[in-house]
Amino acid sequence: MVLRPLWSLTHNALIRGLAYLDESNWLLIWDDHHWVHLWNRDGVRQSTYASPSRLAGVAASVNGSVIVAATTDGMVSLLSSELRPRWQLPVARRIGAVAVDPAGLLIAVADAKNQVVLLDTSGQQLRKVETPRPIQSLSFVPLQPILLVAADLGFVGAIDLTTGAWLWRDTPVTHLGNLAVAGTGEPILLASFSEGVRSYQPTGKILPPPHPWPASRWVACSYDASVLVTGGVEPVVTGFRGQQSPAFQHRLPQPITAIALNGLGEYLWVALQDQTLVALDLRPMV
C-alpha cells in the first residue's frame, strides 16, 4: 500500500515529541527550544507555551483539558487547554518522563532517583513507587488503574495504582523505546531495538511475535489495536493491520524524531530530524 501525504511543514525547531488528543482533535507538540504547541489536525497552530527550562516530556488527557509539561530540572507545570499555566511545582530533582491518565485525573512523573511519583491534578502527591532503574517511558492503561513503566534498558513493569504494588515486572536484555497500549489494555507494546516490538498481555505474559518486527524506537497503536505503526533508526515507518504482516512501509527523507497516531488509526504524524512534520493518510488500512 502506498501512503498519501496529506501535508508537510517545517517547524522552527527540532520536534522532540508528539501526541494526538482524540477528543479535541488537537496535535500536542514539544520542541528543542522548550516550547509546547497545540495545533489542529491540519497543522495550524492554536496556542503555545514557553517552558522556563528544558522539557523532559509533555502529556495530556484525551480531551486536552489537562496538559502537563515536565522539565529536566524537576519542575512540573499544569496547563489549561489554552496552554496557560495553572500551577507549577518542584516534584523531583531530575525528571525522565511524565504521563497523564486519559481522563485527566492523575499525573505520573518518573525521576532519576528510581522513583515514580503519582500526583492528582491539584499537585498533591498521592504516592511514590520505587523502581529498579530510572524510568524513561510511562503509559496509563485506559479504563484500568494500571500504570506501565519502562527503562531505556532492561526493565518494564506494571504498577497497581490503587495500592502502589507491582502487578508484574520483566527484565528484557535489550535497549527499549516507548510504550503503547490498546484501549482494552491488550496488547501492551514496547518498542525494542533488537526485537522490534515486545508484546505483553495485561498479566505480563509475553505474546509470541506474529511475524518479524523491524527494529523500533517508536511504536503506536489505534485504540482497538487494529492498526499498529513502528518507526526505527532507519527513516522508515512500517504499518500493520493488527497482527498481520506489514501493510505498508513508507520511507522518509530524514531520520525520525517522534510519531503520533490517532485513536482510529486513520492518520499518522511523523516528525523528522530536519524539523519537518509530515501528516500521512492511513485510511486505506482502516
**Of 229, 212, 226, residue with least CA distance to 269:** 229
DSSP, residue by residue, 149-192? EE-SBS-EEEEETTT--EEEEE--SSBEEEEEE-TTS--EEEEE
Distance between CA atoms of residues 43 and 170, nearest Å: 39
For position 246, what pLDDT does the model report?
A: 86
**Of 101, 80, 228, residue with least CA distance to 159:** 101
The alpha carbon dihedral of 100, 101, 104, 108 has a sign of negative
242 has pLDDT over 90: no
Give the model confidence (pLDDT) of 32-79 as tens digits. Answer: 999 999 999 889 999 999 999 999 999 999 999 999 999 999 999 999
For residues 137-165, one letter each, b for 16 or more C-beta atoms within 10 angstroms of the residue's C-beta and e for the rest, the string is bbbbbbeeebbbbbbeeebbbbbebeeee
Q: What letter does residue 193 receive in the DSSP assignment?
A: T
User: Average of pLDDT values for 259-263?
Assistant: 97
Angle CA(116)–CA(225)–CA(19) in degrees, nearest 5?
A: 50
For position 210, what pLDDT does the model report?
A: 82
Question: How many other CB atoms sit within 10 Å of the CB of residue 132?
Answer: 12
Grid cell for residue 248? 505498508
User: Average of pLDDT values for 91-103?
Assistant: 93
For position 9, what pLDDT does the model report?
A: 95
Distance between CA atoms of residues 252 and 271, nearest Å: 10
Can you count the helices (H) and strands (E) in the chain?
0, 28
Grid cell for residue 185? 489494555
For position 285, what pLDDT does the model report?
A: 66
pTM of the model: 0.95
Residue tagged 517552558 (cell numbers): 51
**Of 200, 235, 230, 199, residue with least CA distance to 215:** 230
pLDDT class of 286 with cuts at 50, 70, 90: low
User: Average of pLDDT values for 133-149?
Assistant: 95
Q: Which fold has domain 17-129?
A: Methylamine Dehydrogenase; Chain H (2.130.10)
User: Average of pLDDT values for 169-178?
Assistant: 93
Q: How many Cα neighbours within 13 Å face the side chain of 240?
A: 21
